[in-house]
């Protein structure tokens, strides 16, 4: 049975209208980073006004910076929603942003990998874990234990994962159009080696039928976060049900004991704490491909994408970013600047940089190997002169894709990938 839902909101239930239902209020609050616990506390103590005030305080902040900032004071330490130490990160209500300046190698260490949670990290007993595969495009439901998954053919893939809203804050800070949602800088991304069983192997074991169209992946967090994949992507050999990250059991914040990893697609498809798969003979429409994780704006008329409110996003975009604080502060003289570049379409073949108002692009050095699905590290030499500067980088992949000079605005600030003008103060 397909979990179909139009996900469309009547005008009277949009944010700011008093007639919003509690369900819609919770969805709005969650999209602005409130945990379920905090939502309930605010609703009980101050009603709808308190909830909306908290959303305004933490969700729209286009003026927050990325880089090595102090923790966000809106995060109550007594209600810490993560297991890992949040100290090295820029802290958002349920999310942790990695300062790219703290990263050096190809693989992001597990303790520095960004966290995008829609609710606090659940604690799951692996010995009692069961993954249920069901739906009208399999003969009958089956359940697999963690041991059974580990006994199946395994595969390791080095791949970056990036939140669809990475760089969101720059819509407001650079382009003057503030987008809704958590104010990510450049650090909602990381690259790891993922080991697990290909999702296609599990679907084959369940007896996926020829009429299958969509595969819904659902997690065991408080909001049961879920998103559907088309069968073709689900069956791709590099789409994994991972149980290891960088050679270790998945950390709790990253989906222990099992998560999906969908290379090249926005990370909302890589469902953590995976506990249910639905295989459907019809397209599956849920909140995360109708009203969130869709492109809403003038360029994406809703009637063209019905029942979604805009274009559902799948594939990521080509990007590059400097591994520097924002703004950066360095000493005058010769220096080496470093960064990361990635593309979902092909391996990065070149990275270029330019200074201030110069029109000439200079070529950077690529210092990590070309690995499908992974990012590439780059660096270049700069004779830094005292004063205020702006440095831009742009990536080009082996298929000829590059970063565009302009990107149309969308309400949730997804997929921004212009060459960022990175401010650098040289003393």
- Average pLDDT over every residue of 394-418: 97
The DSSP result for 178-192, as a single string, is PPSS----S-SEEEE
- Reported as half-sphere exposure (CB side, CA atoms, 13 A), residue 68 has a value of 9
Asked whether the predicted pLDDT for residue 110 surpasses 90, the reply is yes
180 lies in some domain:
yes
Distance CA(98)–CA(89), nearest Å, equals 5
- pLDDT score recorded for residue 93: 86
Same domain, 54 and 81: no
Q: 243 with 149: CB under 8 angstroms?
A: yes
Does residue 111 share a domain with residue 247?
yes
Residue 109 and residue 48 share a domain: no
State mean pLDDT over 6-15: 30
Residue 18: pLDDT band with limits 50, 70, 90: very low
Alpha helices in 80-211, H assignment, sequence order:
146-151, 169-173, 199-206
Is 175 in the same domain as 229? yes
* Model confidence pLDDT, tens digit, residues 192-203: 999 999 999 999
CA distance 15 to 293: 17
Q: Is the pLDDT of residue 46 over 80?
A: no
Average pLDDT over residues 140-159: 98
Number of domains in the chain: 3
64-91 pLDDT, tens digit each: 333 333 333 333 344 689 999 999 999 9
Q: What is the mean pLDDT of the chain?
A: 87
Of 12-16, 177-181, 219-223, 412-416, which range is least confident?
Answer: 12-16
Q: Using pLDDT thresholds of 50, 70 and 90, give the confidence band for residue 246.
A: very high
**pLDDT of 11 strictly over 60:** no
pLDDT band at 26 (very low <50, low <70, confident <90, very high): low
Q: Where are the alpha helices (DSSP H) in 101-218?
A: 146-151, 169-173, 199-206
Q: What is the CATH number of the domain that holds 159?
A: 3.90.420.10
Q: In terms of domains, do 131 and 265 share one?
A: yes
Q: What is residue 71's predicted lDDT score, i.e. its pLDDT?
A: 37
Q: Are 120 and 81 in contact (CB under 8 A)?
A: yes
224 in a structural domain = yes
Same domain assignment for residues 178 and 93: yes
Residues 262 and 371 in one domain: no
Closest CA to 241 of 265, 279, 214, 269: 269
Give this prediction's pTM: 0.83
Strand order in the sheet with 328-330: 328-330, 422-426, 387-397, 348-355, 362-363
Average pLDDT on 110-138 reads 97
- For residue 298, is it within any domain? no
Q: Is the pLDDT of residue 228 over 90?
A: yes
| pLDDT band, residue 187 (cuts 50/70/90) | very high
Residue 3, pLDDT above cutoff 50: no
Residues 131 and 225 both lie in one domain: yes
Q: Is residue 195 part of a domain?
A: yes
Would you list the DSSP string of 15-46?
TT-TT--HHHHHHHHHHTT--HHHHHHHHHHH
A 10 A CB-CB count for 178 gives: 18
Q: Is the pLDDT of residue 15 over 80?
A: no
Q: How far is CA 191 from CA 101, 286, 373, in A?
A: 15, 28, 9
| pLDDT tens-place string over residues 343-373 | 999 999 999 999 999 999 999 999 999 999 9
Percentage of the chain with pLDDT > 70?
81
Burial class (CB in 10 A: 0-12, 13-18, 19+), 320: buried
pLDDT at res. 80: 82
Please report, for residues 91, 201, 263, 378, the alpha-carbon distance to residue 98 in angstroms, rounded to integers and kept in the order given.
9, 33, 19, 18
CA neighbours closer than 13 Å in the CB half-sphere of residue 389: 21
- Residue 259 and residue 225: Cα distance in Å, rounded? 12
Same structural domain, 43 and 111: no
Q: Which domain holds residue 143?
A: 77-284
Q: What is the pLDDT of residue 364?
A: 98
Q: Are residues 345 and 211 in the same domain?
A: no
Backbone angles phi, psi at 177, to 5 degrees: -130, 100
Q: Assess whether pLDDT exceeds 90 at residue 423.
A: yes
Residues present in the chain in total: 427
For the cut 60, the answer to whether the pLDDT of residue 305 exceeds it is yes
45 and 94 within one domain: no
* Residues 258 and 327 occupy one common structural domain: no
For the cut 60, the answer to whether the pLDDT of residue 62 exceeds it is no
Residue 368 lies in a domain: yes
273: confidence class by pLDDT, cuts 50, 70, 90: very high
Q: Choose among 190, 99, 100, 170: nearest CA to 375.
A: 190
| Residue 412, domain member (yes or no) | yes
Query: In the predicted model, is pLDDT for residue 59 greater than 60?
Result: no
Provide φ and ψ at 296, rounded to 5°.
-110, 120
Tokens of 181: 């949602």
Q: What is the mean pLDDT of residues 296-309?
A: 92
């Amino acid at each position: 049975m397909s979990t179909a839902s139009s996900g469309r909101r009547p005008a009277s239930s949009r944010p700011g209208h008093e007639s919003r239902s509690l369900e819609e209020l919770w969805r709005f609050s969650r999209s602005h980073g409130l945990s379920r616990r905090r939502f309930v506390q605010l609703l009980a103590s101050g009603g709808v006004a308190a909830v909306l005030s908290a959303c305004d305080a933490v969700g729209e902040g286009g003026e927050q910076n990325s880089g090595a900032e102090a923790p966000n004071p809106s995060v109550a330490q007594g209600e810490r929603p993560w297991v890992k130490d949040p100290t090295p990160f820029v802290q958002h209500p349920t999310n942790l942003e990695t300062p790219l300046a703290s990263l050096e190698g190809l693989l992001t260490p597990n303790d520095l990998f960004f966290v995008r949670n829609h609710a606090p990290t659940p604690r799951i007993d692996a010995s009692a874990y069961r993954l249920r595969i069901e739906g009208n495009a399999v003969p009958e439901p089956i359940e697999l234990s963690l041991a059974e998954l580990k006994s199946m053919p395994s595969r390791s893939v080095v791949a970056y994962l990036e939140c669809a809203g990475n760089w969101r804050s720059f819509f407001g800070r650079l382009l003057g159009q503030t987008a809704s949602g958590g104010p990510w800088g450049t650090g909602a991304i990381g690259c790891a080696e993922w080991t697990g069983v290909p999702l296609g192997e599990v679907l084959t074991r369940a007896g996926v039928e020829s009429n299958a169209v969509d595969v819904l992946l659902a997690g065991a967090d408080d909001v049961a976060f879920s998103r559907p994949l088309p069968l073709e992507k689900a069956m791709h050999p590099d789409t994994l049900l991972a149980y290891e990250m960088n050679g270790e059991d998945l950390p709790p914040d990253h989906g222990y004991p099992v998560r999906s990893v969908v290379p090249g697609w926005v990370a909302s498809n890589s469902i953590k704490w995976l506990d249910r798969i639905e295989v459907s003979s019809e397209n599956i429409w849920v909140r995360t491909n109708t009203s969130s994780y869709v492109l809403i704006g003038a360029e994406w008329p809703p009637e063209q994408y019905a029942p979604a409110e805009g274009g559902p996003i799948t594939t990521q975009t080509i990007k590059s970013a400097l591994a520097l604080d924002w703004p950066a502060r360095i000493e005058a003289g010769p220096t080496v600047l470093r960064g990361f570049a990635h593309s979902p379409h092909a391996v990065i073949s070149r990275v270029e940089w330019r200074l201030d108002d110069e029109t000439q692009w200079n070529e950077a050095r690529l210092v990590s190997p070309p690995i499908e699905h992974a990012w590439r590290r780059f660096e270049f030499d700069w004779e830094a002169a005292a004063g205020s500067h702006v440095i831009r980088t742009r990536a080009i992949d082996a298929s000829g894709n590059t970063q565009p000079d302009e990107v149309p605005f969308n309400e949730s600030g997804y997929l921004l990938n212009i060459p960022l003008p990175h401010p650098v103060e040289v003393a």
